[in-house]
Structure 1
Amino acid sequence: MAKAYPFSAIAERSVIHDHFAGSEVVVTFEPLSESGAAFQRRLEDRTLTFEPSAPRDGVALMRDVETGSLWQVLTGQAVEGPLFGERLERLPSHYSFWFAWSDFHPRSELYTSAAG
């Protein structure tokens, strides 16, 4: 099972909440390097909700609404706040052109902004 996120969607939103394969996930984007990552939103006994935060020292950040902790968008590690040092579980992800992706993953779901 696979899911594709158009570059335009992740570049526009930078933090996307979604459901995939029965899990709550967050897909993140760091505009300076044009890099992204995907993580489980569940940490121990809670599901976190993230929102973009202002970068610090050139590092893209997001904040969880539940505790106010700051997280690096590419590592999934909390760098400030009550959850300092915690790390989200990273999910496999990579960039690909759609024509190549669809050849190898013909049954992929395609993210649309209306979905999350």
Structure 2
Amino acid sequence: MLPGSQARAYPLELFNQDTKVLTDRVADKDLVVYRDKASEASAVFERVVEGRELSFKAGNTWTTLEDTTTGSTWNIVTGKAVAGPLKGKTLERVPHYQIYWFGFADFFPGATLFGEKAQN
């Protein structure tokens, strides 16, 4: 996700039954990265809405995220809040791909793995 040297890879083994949501900061953007291993669903969004940074956890179904800041429920397909105080608001989607690391590294030279610092 994100072009050029700002790209970041998130190894699938980071996501399991207990860990479905990661937060990160890439290219000055605060992100929420979601993956449900059972359904293989994934989504990446900016986690700032109307200037407010939100924190997230997995929702009650594989198609939802819950923000713990306001208690709103977000659909991972549309990025839209479907319940709670932010109902009707939309998270900004970030392009992402599920591909093998060697392919990702070829397409995005200079990319980093989640948890590693960029090489200069």
| Aligned residue number for residue 45 of structure 2 | 39
Q: What do the CA deviations read for 1:24-71 (whole angstroms, capped 9, x no partner)?
A: 10011133430211110010120111111211xxx5222111210111
Give the secondary-structure state (helix, strand or coil) at the position aligned to 2:14: helix
Question: Aligned-pair RMSD on alpha carbons?
Answer: 1.8
> Does residue 102 in structure 1 map to residue 105 in structure 2?
yes
**Contact 1:72/1:78 (CA < 8 Å) preserved in 2?**
yes
| Unaligned runs of at least 5 residues, structure 1 | none
Give the secondary-structure state (helix, strand or coil) at the position aligned to 1:37: strand
Any runs of at least 4 consecutive aligned residues in structure 1 with deviations exceeding 2 A, and if so which?
A: 30-33
Query: Once the two structures are aligned, what percentage of the paired residues are identical?
Result: 37
| Aligned residue number for residue 3 of structure 2 | none
| Aligned residue number for residue 29 of structure 2 | 23
TM-score normalised per structure 2: 0.82
Counterparts in 2 of 1:11 and 1:106: CA distance versus 1, 3 Å: farther
Q: What do the CA deviations read for 1:58-106 (whole angstroms, capped 9, x no partner)?
A: x522211121011123332111111111110001111111111112222
Look up the equivalent residue of 2:29 and give its one-letter code. S
